[in-house]
């Protein structure tokens, strides 16, 4: 009789316990606003999260228009990761439409944004903070803390993933410094499609010029393009670089009229597809470094 009673109690305990275990182990539903941020979140979250990225590979987060499906995705999320610094101009509308009341994590929290001279619709601050590898460390720390708060059971896993990623960042940072350090002072001027490399320029002593401003929604004027062509000629800049998410036609025109060559494709605001040369943030930065060096160092 006692044995039967114990079996009933154990069965009842098992039935009660299994759903709790399943709930604890169910992946955290995480949403990231764009591909670069999403890759960082996935690197820390690993298998403990179910990640959805709103603005995908080769897509422009500046001009993105959220869909009703995006609103549904956000509504069902456990945690939402955003860049901040005014990058996602559409974010407030999306969150309001979704009715999302959960945690919003600003990955750039603690980073001092670079001020913009033109004070455009980003609130006078350059949002492209990920273009400095030192800032990426802050992104990773913020992401880790947020995931640990949302999923305490996985804290140790997130910490291990964070430490691994920070080691990779440190190694890449050293490689970048050594590579750029080989460039002579008169070969450190770069022309790109839009002004997305301010943090990169400040950190690694390069000069970036662009026909478009910080936001790809604004079109370059004929006067701006003519002035840039004259500057390229005057400074004897040898190469211009197209961007993966922007039409190359304007840069090709500038190259043809200035006598410069197209030095390759840089990735500013979006990763390539997973099987491309910039399928992760680390691969993207490595590709940009190598592409810049090869074109600028060429005689």
Q: Is the dihedral of CA 179, 183, 187, 188 positive or negative?
A: positive
pLDDT average, residue stretch 183-199: 85
Nearest to 179 by CA among 238, 130, 133, 248: 133
Residue 198 has phi, psi (to 5 degrees) of -60, -40
pLDDT at 217: 57
Same fold yes or no, 22-174 and 184-297: yes
Whether the predicted pLDDT of 23 surpasses 60: no
Average pLDDT, the chain: 86
Contact 189, 234 (CB under 8 A): no
Q: What is the pLDDT of residues 88-146, one digit of tens each?
A: 999 999 999 999 999 999 999 999 999 986 545 445 899 999 999 999 999 999 999 99
Domain boundaries, the chain: 22-174, 184-297
Nearest to 268 by CA among 35, 51, 106, 111: 35
Q: CB under 8 Å to 161, separation ≥6 — which residues?
A: 43, 44, 45, 46, 144
Residue 11: pLDDT band (50, 70, 90) is very low
Q: Decide which of 269 and 238 is more confident.
A: 269
Burial 206-240 (b: 16+ CB within 10 A, else e): bebbbbbbbbbeeebeeeebeebbeebeeeebbbb
Q: Decide which of 93 and 227 is more confident.
A: 93
Whether the predicted pLDDT of 18 surpasses 50: no
Residue with tokens 């000629």: 233
pLDDT at 15: 41
Q: CB under 8 Å to 213, separation ≥6 — which residues?
A: 118, 120, 194, 195
Q: What is the pLDDT of residues 240-293, one digit of tens each?
A: 888 876 777 878 888 888 888 888 899 999 999 999 999 999 999 999 999 999
Classify domain 22-174 at the CATH topology level.
Rossmann fold (3.40.50)
- Go through the chain and tell me how many residues it has: 299
pLDDT average, residue stretch 150-164: 98
pLDDT at 64: 92
What residues pair up with 109 in beta bridges, in sequence order?
Answer: none
Q: DSSP for 76-93, please give it.
A: T-SEEEE--TT--TTHHH
What is the biggest distance separating any 2 CA atoms in the chain, rounded to whole angstroms?
Answer: 98
Q: Which CATH code fits 184-297?
A: 3.40.50.1980
Alpha helices in the chain (DSSP H): 2-25, 35-45, 68-75, 91-98, 133-150, 155-181, 198-204, 222-235, 249-258, 281-297
């Amino acid at each position: 009789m006692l044995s039967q009673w114990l079996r009933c109690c154990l069965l009842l305990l098992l039935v009660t316990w299994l759903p709790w275990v399943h709930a604890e182990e169910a992946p955290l539903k995480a949403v990231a606003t764009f591909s670069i941020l999403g890759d960082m979140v996935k690197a820390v979250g690993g298998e403990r999260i179910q990640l959805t990225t709103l603005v995908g590979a080769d897509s422009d987060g500046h001009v993105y228009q959220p869909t009703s499906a995006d609103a549904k995705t956000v509504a069902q999320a456990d945690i939402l990761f955003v860049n901040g610094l005014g990058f996602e101009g559409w974010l407030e509308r999306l969150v309001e439409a979704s009715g999302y009341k959960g945690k919003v994590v600003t990955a750039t929290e603690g980073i001092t944004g670079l001020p913009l001279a033109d004070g455009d619709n980003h609130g006078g601050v350059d949002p492209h903070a990920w273009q400095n590898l030192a800032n990426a460390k802050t992104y990773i720390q913020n992401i880790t803390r947020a995931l640990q708060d949302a999923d305490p059971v996985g804290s140790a896993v997130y910490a291990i993933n964070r430490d691994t990623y920070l080691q990779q960042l440190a190694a890449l940072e050293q490689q970048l410094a050594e590579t750029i350090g080989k460039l002579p002072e008169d070969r450190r001027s770069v022309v790109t499609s839009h002004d997305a490399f301010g943090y990169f320029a400040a950190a690694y002593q390069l000069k970036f010029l662009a026909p478009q401003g910080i936001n790809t929604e604004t079109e370059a004027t004929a006067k701006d393009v003519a002035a840039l062509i004259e500057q390229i000629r005057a400074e004897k800049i040898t190469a211009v670089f197209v961007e993966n998410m922007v039409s190359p036609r304007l840069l090709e025109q500038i190259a043809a009229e200035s006598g410069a060559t197209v030095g390759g494709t840089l990735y500013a605001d979006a990763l390539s597809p997973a099987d491309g040369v910039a399928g992760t943030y680390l691969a993207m930065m490595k590709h940009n470094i190598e592409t810049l060096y090869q074109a600028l160092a060429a005689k």
